[in-house]
Structure 1
Amino acid sequence: MTTSAVGVAVLDDIDARPGSTTSLLRTLIGVHLRPLGGVISSAALVRLAGDLGIPPARARTAITRLKQRGLLLSTSGGYAIDPAALPMLRRGDRRIFDVRTMSEDDGWMLVSATVPESRRDLRHQLRRRLLYLGAGSVAPSLWILPGHLFDEAHELLHEIGAREYATLFLATDPQPSRPLPEAVADWWDLVALRAEHDRFLASVDALDLTRPFAAHLGLIDSWRVLPYIDPGLPTALLPADWPGARSVETFQRLHAELAARAADHVRAVAADDRPATPPAR
């Protein structure tokens, strides 16, 4: 996991449960603070949390937690994004807003990783992070991903210190002992993935689109984990009624409809009480 200069683990997209107070504030910070120059006043952040239905006391507790996890720094009168969190936020931008779907002609990659018994902690972390990269499990210590995730897999292995235990392969035509769609259904937990898509689509139905800021934050917060765990497999390898394309279309349509009005609201609130610029680090 990403770590700051002082060794604090930075809260990643996969570490906060969508819909929780911490998750909503983490999403608010990730989406809106960078366009504001990375800083916001305490009063403005708490007020925006209130617009999401979060009481002030609970908001302040969550803000403290986000500071402890390396996402925020205290400034004179407000908060700033910790520079150590920026790579994680940029990675989230790519996965959340630039959704890629694998075509039948795209290649695959395999990750073979044998971590020593003495590094059980790393073995657990590697498995967890590969799952949240969208990897399927072919066999113990052997993972498969769409080829377009090669750079992210390579970055992940270096980030957690597992590169020395892993060998990466590129492939064009996997040949399992049974039809490839059947193998895919074993390599990935399609039942769990479908449940996540159904959860997201149900959450969209509950959004109040007359409140664009809250609706937009709720949309992104509900969506943000899906692009990590769903690798965007080719349609031919998925069940005929797979909801993935509908989820992507729904997210992209509502994001385009709500984003500008949500940003206008944040700018207006932030302009009421600008914090001092944080000192250089």
Structure 2
Amino acid sequence: MTARPSAGLVLDDIDARPGSTTSLLRTLIGLYLRPLGGRITPAALVRLAGDLGIPAARARTAITRLKQRGLLVAAPDGDYVLNPAALPMLERGDRRIFAVRTMTEADEWMLVSATVPETRRDLRHQLRRRLQFVGAGAVSAGLWILPGHLAEEVEQLLAELDARAFTTLFRTTDPKPADPLPAAAARWWDLAALRAEHERFQASLGDLDETQPFDAYVRLIDSWRVLPYIDPGLPRSLLPDDWPGERSVQEFARMSSELAPRALAHARGAVR
């Protein structure tokens, strides 16, 4: 088995573009390799890609990219297996994707204060991107706020980036900005961009063919999986009255429960 790649190669899908061949294959692998025993033959993986309408040549190209990104490694017998270094990322994704959590008024907030030396601009950039990706809001340069229930995830993120020495973490239940908290939240998070992502997801549901459960389910997850990261699940009192997040969660839960068992049965049958 190949050596573990550097941490940056197996981090979350910050650059994921839902619907692309590489994104669909990554979603497929994240969903099914673990329940299928952690390995799959190249032929079976290409066959499952074909069930998503992906031509074999394009699938093989995407699989090569995923090997380069550290998600898959080639076993001595030629099978593809999950890179152990990618498992924390996949497990973190499971929690975000399938167990969406919304803050209440009584929940704690976490503040992340980061002081990264000028000589480590690369780390500063990575830390900013990763914190944004896990749903943190930018209070000011070097100060971030996010739901307290993400504390473990933040600790893991800082460890993966080797950035813990440059950060201080705080907990509070009562942040007091100069203006009302809803107005401050609208500055800390780009609510317009988050709204657009919810609307994109909801529009994508109309393209799913539920008579083809495997294709529909993989595309459902692929369209959804980044949204629970970038949307922190703010308390309802901090959001506009017409906020679309609740509808997105409800629609995802409904379609996932209907499609998931049939899609897994299809995947199991395809690799026998």
Q: Given the two structures, how large is their TM-score scaled by the length of structure 2?
A: 0.96
Q: CA deviation at 1:131?
A: 0.1
Q: CA deviation at 1:161?
A: 1.1
Task: Tell me the amino acid that sits aligned with residue 35 of structure 1.
Answer: P
Q: CA deviation at 1:80?
A: 1.2
Partner of 2:69: 69
SS at match of 2:232: coil
Give the 5 Å matches for 1:1-80: 5-7=4-6, 9-10=9-10, 12-75=12-75, 76-80=77-81
RMSD of equivalent CA atoms: 1.1
SS at match of 1:264: helix
Tell whether the 8 Å contact from 1:108 to 1:144 is kept in structure 2 after alignment.
yes
Partner of 1:137: 138
Cα distance in 2 for partners of 1:29, 1:165 equals 34
Q: CA deviation at 1:10?
A: 1.7
Partner of 1:274: none
Tell whether the 8 Å contact from 2:4 to 2:83 is kept in structure 1 after alignment.
no
Please say which of residues 64-73 and 27-36 is displaced more in the overlay: 64-73
Cα distance in 2 for partners of 1:7, 1:14 equals 16
Tell whether the 8 Å contact from 2:217 to 2:259 is kept in structure 1 after alignment.
yes
Task: Tell me the amino acid that sits aligned with residue 213 of structure 2.
Answer: P
Q: CA deviation at 1:78?
A: 2.6
Percent of aligned pairs sharing the same letter: 69
Point out 4+ residue stretches in structure 1 off by more than 3 angstroms. none
Partner of 2:103: 102
Cα distance in 1 for partners of 2:267, 2:257 equals 17
Cα distance in 2 for partners of 1:206, 1:178 equals 42
Q: CA deviation at 1:11?
A: 5.5
Q: CA deviation at 1:118?
A: 0.4
Unaligned runs of 5+ in 1: 272-281
Q: Given the two structures, how large is their TM-score scaled by the length of structure 1?
A: 0.93
Partner of 1:86: 87
Q: CA deviation at 1:6?
A: 4.2
Partner of 1:216: 217
Tell whether the 8 Å contact from 1:11 to 1:66 is kept in structure 2 after alignment.
no
Q: CA deviation at 1:262?
A: 0.2
Q: What's the CA shift string for 1:166-219, capped at 9, x where partnerless?
A: 110001111111111011000100000000000000001111111000000000
Give yes or no for the alignment of 1:245 onto 2:246.
yes
Give the 5 Å matches for 1:116-155: 116-155=117-156
Cα distance in 2 for partners of 1:108, 1:102 equals 9
Cα distance in 1 for partners of 2:98, 2:265 equals 19
Task: Tell me the amino acid that sits aligned with residue 88 of structure 1.
Answer: M
Cα distance in 2 for partners of 1:47, 1:86 equals 24
SS at match of 1:15: coil
Cα distance in 2 for partners of 1:84, 1:155 equals 13
- Residue-pair matches, total: 268
Cα distance in 1 for partners of 2:29, 2:5 equals 21
Please say which of residues 212-221 and 10-19 is displaced more in the overlay: 10-19
Partner of 2:203: 202
Cα distance in 2 for partners of 1:159, 1:175 equals 31
Q: What's the CA shift string for 1:144-177, capped at 9, x where partnerless?
A: 0011111111111111011111110001111111
Structure 2 vs 1, CA of residues 50 and 11 (structure 1 numbering), >3 Å: closer, same or farther?
A: farther
Cα distance in 2 for partners of 1:236, 1:122 equals 34
Structure 2 vs 1, CA of residues 191 and 239 (structure 1 numbering), >3 Å: closer, same or farther?
A: same
Give the 5 Å matches for 1:153-172: 153-172=154-173
Cα distance in 2 for partners of 1:12, 1:47 equals 26
SS at match of 2:14: helix
Cα distance in 2 for partners of 1:11, 1:152 equals 12
Q: CA deviation at 1:7?
A: 3.1
SS at match of 2:271: helix
Cα distance in 2 for partners of 1:170, 1:69 equals 35
Q: CA deviation at 1:107?
A: 1.1
Tell whether the 8 Å contact from 1:138 to 1:144 is kept in structure 2 after alignment.
yes
Tell whether the 8 Å contact from 1:11 to 1:69 is kept in structure 2 after alignment.
no
